[in-house]
Amino acid sequence: MAPLLRLTDVRKTFGGLVAVNDLSFEIEAGGIVAMIGPNGAGKSTVFNLITGVYEPTSGAIDLDGATLCGLKTFKIAARGVARTFQNIRLFAYMSALDNVMTGRHSRMRASLFDSLLHTPGQRGEERRVRERARDLLRFVGLERQADDYARNLPYGGQRRLEIARALASEPKLLLLDEPAAGMNPKEKSDLIELIRRIRDTGITVFLIEHDMHLVMNVSERIAVLDHGEKIAEGAPEVVRNDERVIEAYLGRESTAPH
Amino acid sequence: MKRARLAAILPFLVLPLVPLLDRNNSHIDFLANAGAFIVLALGLNIVVGFAGLLDLGYAAFFAIGSYSYAMLASQQFGIHIPFWVMLFVASVIAAIFGILLGAPTLRLRGDYLAIVTLGFGEIVPQTFLNLTQYTNGPNGISSLDQPSLFGRGFGFSATPYYEVMLALIALAVFLASNLQSSRLGRAWMAIREDELAARHMGINTTAAKLAAFALGASFSGLAGVAYAAKLDLVSPDQFQFNVSVLVLSMLVLGGMGNIWGVIVGSFTLSFINGFLLPQSTNLAHAMHLNLDFTNYRFMLYGVILVAMMLFRPEGLIPSRQRQAELREAKLDPALLAEEQAEYTGGAR
């Protein structure tokens, strides 16, 4: 069976800069996988390549055996890839509920005609989507903030709202870009629990994270990126003790005198 | 919810009776013209208020709607499509031009979009001016077909046109408020807030923006037909840049994005323009004062807009979002920076 996500020799250059260097990588359906690496290692670029913000310079990206290359971002979303952003990108002046309902866009069928005339089908769909959005807000613990503007939620709440919005499309693959950034320890442990609950619903989670405690705790497999190359991959305990990983994070032990 | 719907329907039950109470044809004539501009403002509100695409050439679609009627319902080419059919036809024609003129601007935002739409707003009347063999150039097209209902012509009274305008406003309000609370309306709001994030939600931003241009233009197609039929004349000078600015000012005054705000803003400016200033001028003349207040029209608009920006930038009846956005933008910048730092502090 084909893996859920497969990157084959993916390369992305910006002018002379090689952001992602012939990266090959697979994610099986149903788990929690993390990608770590120092700042500027190319992690967010990988997410942007998967969601079609950038096109790979060379290489192939497949979801469920079908290529994502050349597809527009909105089509990739419809294929079942949802994401959150490193710098939260909520619709700031829309209510939490409307944010989540917007996340459902790709699964809704109301046409221009339905939107103009509010046909019975459109009204039924709106009602179901609103119910579903409330369920998702409950799932991430924001049911009481449904009518608040996204920007008025506390920081941790905004992170969770972004996740709820991403889940609204019932994705196969959920990309979380530094979900714990800026969270306090309590929020982080809640997040770990939330990520596990998401996995338990059958959604594959792929996350970028700097918080090692969270990564080691929640991931079943970790890939390490440095200068756009994958330097290690495996279970948390394997990666933790990998020499190249330690070197990438801490630097090479200096042997030559200054 | 029920009460809000009743409140929305009530004006459309009462206002049709106005011509029975006010027998002065010039008053009804003024109200009918104001009605056309309300429909225009509601259309522009879809583009600017809902989707956040600043359009400075909206009068072009008004022109296209009006000329459609003038060319397809007059002696000009001997084509006589009935008024009621033309309402539909012209809104489709205007929508098609909305897509044609919208398509090249899709990659543009803010100021750049405004400049390109400004250009289109100039090109369209110029085209009608110079296609002399079809449009009679600066003379325009006159003697348009008179609308009729159940075999009775509208005649010279403004009342039937007034009733038609009311019906068009009701239609425009119905469609615009439906759009606002729909899948497409949410997509527009999302694009306005964050286009990249909107794409990640599966929103085809290209299609959504074109839908905004098309729907916005179709409203002015409706207004154009009714306005042209009422005036019995269409000429290029009716669709100059100041018309685009006037309609946009109506949105700014009333409250962009809010349907009722837009109606109030539109009517207020029409009232000043078409009633207050001419009446004051008449009064001045009666008192043997050589004053023409209509000359001060644009100065007055300027004063109103500056005052609005200073005291109530979100408009008379603002939409919830706009109000929050504008009010918070006035917060202390230092506080905002601090907040920003807190937001991004943990990331990278």
* Sequence-separated contacts (24+) of A246-250 with Cβ below 8 Å: A248/A37, A248/A38, A248/A41, A248/A224, A249/A38
Q: What is the pLDDT of residues B242-266, one digit of tens each?
A: 899 999 999 999 988 899 999 999 9
Is residue B34 within 8 Å of B270, Cβ to Cβ?
A: yes
Is residue B69 within 8 Å of B140, Cβ to Cβ?
A: no
Which of B274, B217, B278, B245 lies closest to B90 in space, CA to CA?
B217
**Count of beta carbons in the 10 Å neighbourhood of residue A100:** 30
Confidence of residue B348 (pLDDT cuts 50, 70, 90): very low
Alpha-carbon distances, residue A48 vs A112, A197, B5, B126, B297 (angstroms):
30, 25, 45, 45, 52
The pLDDT value recorded for residue B220 is 95
A106–B contact, CB cutoff 8 A: yes
Nearest-CA distance A107 → chain B (Å): 8
B345 belongs to a structural domain: no
* Sequence-separated contacts (24+) of B187-191 with Cβ below 8 Å: B187/A102, B187/A105, B188/B50, B188/B51, B188/B52, B188/B212, B189/A91, B189/A94, B189/A98, B189/A102, B189/B50, B189/B321, B190/A91, B190/A94, B190/A102, B190/A105, B191/B51, B191/B52
* Facing B346 at nearest CB: one of A92, A117, A183: A183
The Cα–Cα gap between B348 and B344 comes to 8
- Residue B278 Cα to chain centre, angstroms: 23
The Cα–Cα gap between A129 and A123 comes to 10
CB atoms B199 and A77 under 8 Å: yes
CB atoms B179 and A110 under 8 Å: no
B29 belongs to a structural domain: yes
The pLDDT value recorded for residue B10 is 85
Is residue B317 within 8 Å of B260, Cβ to Cβ?
A: yes
Confidence of residue B347 (pLDDT cuts 50, 70, 90): very low
CA atoms within 13 A on the CB side of B211: 22
CB atoms A102 and B346 under 8 Å: no
Split into its structural domains, chain B has a count of: 1
pLDDT at B206 over 60: yes
CATH number at residue B192: 1.10.3470
Task: Collapse the DSSP code of A37 into the 3-class scheme (helix H, G, I; strand E, B; otherwise coil) and give the result.
Answer: coil
The pLDDT value recorded for residue B330 is 52
Sequence ranges of the domains in chain A: 5-80+171-250
The Cα–Cα gap between A207 and A176 comes to 5
Beta strands at B152-153 and A5-14: parallel, antiparallel or unpaired: unpaired
Confidence of residue B346 (pLDDT cuts 50, 70, 90): very low
Q: What is the ipTM of this complex?
A: 0.93
The Cα–Cα gap between B127 and A91 comes to 41
Beta strands in B228-301 (DSSP E): 233-234
Question: What's at B234, amino acid-wise?
Answer: V
B88 belongs to a structural domain: yes
B32 belongs to a structural domain: yes
The Cα–Cα gap between B109 and A43 comes to 29
Question: What's at B303, amino acid-wise?
Answer: V
CB atoms B211 and A89 under 8 Å: no
The Cα–Cα gap between A93 and A153 comes to 11
| Sign of the dihedral through C-alpha A91, A95, A96, A98 | negative
The Cα–Cα gap between B306 and B310 comes to 6
Site of tokens 């609308």: B147
Residues in chain A with CB shorter than 8 Å from the CB of B347 are 86-87, 178, 181-182
Residues in chain A with CB shorter than 8 Å from the CB of B324 are 93, 149
* Facing B193 at nearest CB: one of A88, A93, A165: A93
Mutate to test the interface with B, among A74, A98, A210 (most CBs of B within 10 A): A74
The pLDDT value recorded for residue B185 is 96
CB atoms B182 and A85 under 8 Å: no
Confidence of residue B345 (pLDDT cuts 50, 70, 90): very low
CB atoms A149 and B189 under 8 Å: no
Q: List CB contacts of B164: < 8 A, sequence separation 6 or more.
A: B32, B147, B226
Q: What is the pLDDT of residues B301-332, one digit of tens each?
A: 888 888 888 888 888 888 777 777 776 655 54
The Cα–Cα gap between A110 and A120 comes to 10
Q: What is the pLDDT of residues B9-53, one digit of tens each?
A: 888 888 888 888 888 888 899 999 999 999 999 999 999 999 999
The pLDDT value recorded for residue B333 is 52
Nearest-CA distance A147 → chain B (Å): 12
DSSP conformational letter for B48: I
Please calculate the CA angle B137-B140-B144 and round it to the nearest 5 degrees: 145
Residues in chain A with CB shorter than 8 Å from the CB of B325 are 93
Give me the domain span that covers residue B91: 18-338
Nearest-CA distance B33 → chain A (Å): 26
The pLDDT value recorded for residue A255 is 57
The Cα–Cα gap between A58 and A11 comes to 5
The Cα–Cα gap between A32 and A95 comes to 30
Is residue A219 within 8 Å of A236, Cβ to Cβ?
A: yes
Which of B52, B54, B46, B78 lies closest to B221 in space, CA to CA?
B46
The Cα–Cα gap between B148 and A132 comes to 50
Among chain B, residues having any CB pair with chain A shorter than 8 Å are: 175, 178-179, 181-187, 189-190, 193-194, 196-205, 211, 215, 321, 324-325, 342-348
Is residue B266 within 8 Å of B34, Cβ to Cβ?
A: yes
* Facing B343 at nearest CB: one of A94, A102, A155: A155
Confidence of residue B340 (pLDDT cuts 50, 70, 90): low
Instruction: Quickly name the fold that domain A5-80+171-250 has.
Output: Rossmann fold (3.40.50)
String of DSSP letters for A40-93: TSSHHHHHHHHTTSS--SEEEEEETTEE-TT--HHHHHHHTEEE--SS----TT
The pLDDT value recorded for residue A193 is 96
Residues in chain B with CB shorter than 8 Å from the CB of A106 are 201-203
Beta strands at A58-63 and A5-14: parallel, antiparallel or unpaired: antiparallel
The Cα–Cα gap between B155 and B28 comes to 14
Q: What is the pLDDT of residues B91-111, one digit of tens each?
A: 999 999 999 988 988 888 778
Residues in chain B with CB shorter than 8 Å from the CB of A92 are 193-194
Interface of A with B in 123-182 (CB under 8 A): 125-126, 149, 155, 165, 169, 178, 180-182
Percent with pLDDT over 90 in chain B: 55
Instruction: Write out residues in chain A with pLDDT < 70, as ranges.
Output: 1, 252-258
